[in-house]
Amino acid sequence: MLDDFFVRALIAGIGIAVMAGPLGCFVIWRRMAYFGDTMAHSALLGVALSLLLDLNLMVAVFIVAAAVSLLLLFLQRRGALSTDALLGILSHSALSIGLVIVAFMTWVRIDLVGFLFGDILAVSESDIDIIWGGGILVIFAIVYLWRPLLASTVNPELAEAEGMRPERARLFFMLLMALVIAIAMKIVGILLITSLLIIPAATARRFSTSPEIMAVLASVIGALAVTGGLFGSLHWDTPSGPSIVVAALALFVLSLLPIGRRRLETASHSTPGGHH
C-alpha cells in the first residue's frame, strides 16, 4: 500500500508541517491569517509566470509572494485604504491575473485543480530535497529570529526601544512565509496553505503554557494532520490538500473536548488584553 509516491508525499508533507508550525503560531498571534491567504493566492500568479517565462516553479512563486507582501507594506505606509481592503484587492487580483494568464496560454496544459488543492502525485525526489532543505533553513531562521519576532509581536515599540529591530524581523517573517508557501504549494494547494499554518497552531494553543511549547506542538499536530490526511487521500482518492485540512480540523475539534483539561477554562476565557 505504501507506494513510492505516497512515501514521498508523506516525507514532504511532514517536512512542511514542521516548518508551518512555528510560522503558523506567529500568523495567529499577529492576526495575519488573511495576510497569509493573500500571499498564498498570489502564488497562482507565480505559477502562471513560471510557465510563461520558463522559470523554476518554486522560485517564481517565492518571488511573487514576497513581492506581494512588500507591495502590501508599501501600500500600508501610504495609508489610503485599510489593510483589510488592500488585502482583499491584492489577494483576488493576484489570483485572477494568474488564472487569466493561464487561460491565455493555450499551448500549455496545467492541472489547475492540482495547484489549487494539492496533488500528492506531484512530489518528486528533488521536491523532497527542496522541502527538507528549505524546511531546515526556515527552522534555523525562526530559532535565530525567535526573540525579536516574539518581542515585536507583543509590542513593536517595546522591542525597538530595547534594542531590537522589529521592522527587520517583520521583513524576514514575510520572506519566510513566502518560502513556506512556495514549498508547500504542491502538497496542500494554493487555496489551503493558510489552513495548514493556522489550524495546527490553534489546536496547540489549548495545550500550551509558553510560546515555545505552542510552536513545537503546532509542528507535531501539523505532522499528525498531514499523515492522517494523506492516508485518507490515498484511501478515498480525495485531493490531498482538503484531506489534510479535514484531518487538521478533526484534531482541532478533538482538542475542544473537555478531556480532563483545566486549561479549557483558561482558553475559553477569551478576554483579550485590551483592558490593560
Q: Which residues of the shown chain bind other proteins in the complex (CB under 8 A)?
A: 28-31, 147, 150-151, 153-155, 157-164, 202, 205, 208-211, 213-214, 266-267, 269-276
CB of 142 to other proteins, least distance (A): 16
Compare residues 106 and 271 and give the one whose CB is closer to other proteins.
Answer: 271
Q: Inter-axis angle of helices 211-236 and 125-154, to 10 degrees?
A: 150
Compare residues 4 and 162 and give the one whose CB is closer to other proteins.
Answer: 162
CB of 30 to other proteins, least distance (A): 8
Amino acid at 50: S
CB of 198 to other proteins, least distance (A): 10
CA 38 to chain centre: 11
3-class DSSP assignment, residue 42: helix
CB of 123 to other proteins, least distance (A): 32
CB of 274 to other proteins, least distance (A): 5
Report which DSSP code applies to 107.
T
Query: How far apart are the C-alpha atoms of 154 and 225, rounded to whole Å?
Result: 29
Compare residues 109 and 276 and give the one whose CB is closer to other proteins.
Answer: 276
Compare residues 45 and 202 and give the one whose CB is closer to other proteins.
Answer: 202
Amino acid at 163: G
3-class DSSP assignment, residue 136: helix
Compare residues 99 and 267 and give the one whose CB is closer to other proteins.
Answer: 267
Query: How far apart are the C-alpha atoms of 58 and 44, rounded to whole Å?
Result: 11
CB of 88 to other proteins, least distance (A): 22
Compare residues 79 and 260 and give the one whose CB is closer to other proteins.
Answer: 79
Query: How far apart are the C-alpha atoms of 265 and 253, rounded to whole Å?
Result: 16
Helices (H), 189-239: 193-205, 211-236
- Select from 40, 42, 34, 44 the least CA-distant residue to 87: 34
Compare residues 5 and 207 and give the one whose CB is closer to other proteins.
Answer: 207
CB of 49 to other proteins, least distance (A): 35
Report which DSSP code applies to 118.
-
- Select from 126, 125, 129, 132 the least CA-distant residue to 17: 132
